[in-house]
Chain A
Amino acid sequence: RKEVEQDPGPFNVPEGATVAFNCTYSNSASQSFFWYRQDCRKEPKLLMSVYSSGNEDGRFTAQLNRASQYISLLIRDSKLSDSATYLCVVAGGGATNKLIFGTGTLLAVQP
């Protein structure tokens, strides 16, 4: 089993749609969770950190379910500019800052 698993997609949605991405992780000791966004041929950029049960930033909502070892990202009112790959990332636990990356979910927002 992979340490961090995501549906690779692609998710093709029309502008204005609501889309949700799911992610599961295997290490129950993990304490920190993140969503990164990666545009084609660019570096990953931090979208949201999730330190408690979840948080919201504008059109983006992240939720964490520790019991089920499950993280989600909800994007409301999708924009063309939201088209990218979304990476689910888990801090591996322990004393280091090591991050474990999912392989990413590709989102394509259609006009």
Chain B
Amino acid sequence: NAGVTQTPKFQVLKTGQSMTLQCAQDMNHEYMSWYRQDPGMGLRLIHYSVGAGITDQGEVPNGYNVSRSTTEDFPLRLLSAAPSQTSVYFCASSGTGGRPEQFFGPGTRLTVL
């Protein structure tokens, strides 16, 4: 029972590099989201999707792109990494029908030098 999976678990980038954080879920959830978690800041929403082909910005979208070509996958792309993007990134998913509880992947720890 995989739930929400994320790869990689750890990543170190140099400033200016680009990369894609992968997220997949096998629960047939319509809603998927990306958060970043920084000390003392709590979880902040980067982008979210309410279904395949539909994405929208969250609280802190700058520097990140997303796409949702399938229900299962919701990759997060860092276009040109900056040290301010050093953080822990969590992907989450939930069903619809009035039950917004979200289930989280194990996270990706990203360091940008």
Interface of A with B (CB < 8 Å)? 32, 34, 42-46, 49, 87, 91, 96-99, 101-104
Q: Which of B33-67 contact A (CB under 8 A)?
A: 33, 35, 40-45, 48, 50, 58
- Contacting pair A96 B50 (CB below 8 A): yes
Determine which of B33, B43, B44, B50 lies in contact with A44 in the assembled complex, contact meaning CB atoms within 8 Å. Answer: B43
Question: How many A-B residue pairs lie within 8 Å, measured between CB atoms?
Answer: 48
Tell me whether A43 and B94 are in contact (CB under 8 A).
Answer: no
| Cβ-neighbour of B100 out of A42, A44, A99, A104 (below 8 A) | A99
Over the window 10-42 of chain B, the binary record of Cβ atoms lying under 8 Å from chain A Cβ atoms (1 yes, 0 no) is 000000000000000000000101010000111
Give complex CA distance A49, B103 in Å: 13
> Using Cβ atoms and an 8 Å threshold, which residues of chain B touch A103?
40-42
Given contacts A43-B107, A44-B90, contact A99 B42 (CB under 8 A): no
Q: A97 and B90: CB pair below 8 A?
A: no
Secondary structure at the B interface, as helix, strand, loop or mixed, is: strand
Please state if A99 and B102 are interface contacts (CB–CB under 8 Å).
Answer: yes
* Residue numbers in B under 8 Å from A45 (CB-CB): 104
Query: Which one of A43, A46, A98 lies within 8 Å of B105 (CB-CB)?
Result: A43
The 8 Å CB contact of B106, one of A34, A43, A91, is: A43
Given contacts A97-B94, A98-B48, contact A49 B106 (CB under 8 A): no
Residue from B42, B90, B101 in contact with A43 in the complex, judged by beta carbons closer than 8 Å:
B90
Q: Does B96 interact with chain A (Cβ within 8 Å)?
A: yes
Task: Find chain B residues with CB under 8 A from A104 CB.
Answer: 42
- A34 near B90 with CB under 8 A, answer no
- Contact of A32 with B100 at beta-carbon distance under 8 Å, contacts A44-B90, A98-B48 already known: yes
Known: A97-B94, A102-B42, A103-B42. A46 touches B103 (CB 8 A): yes
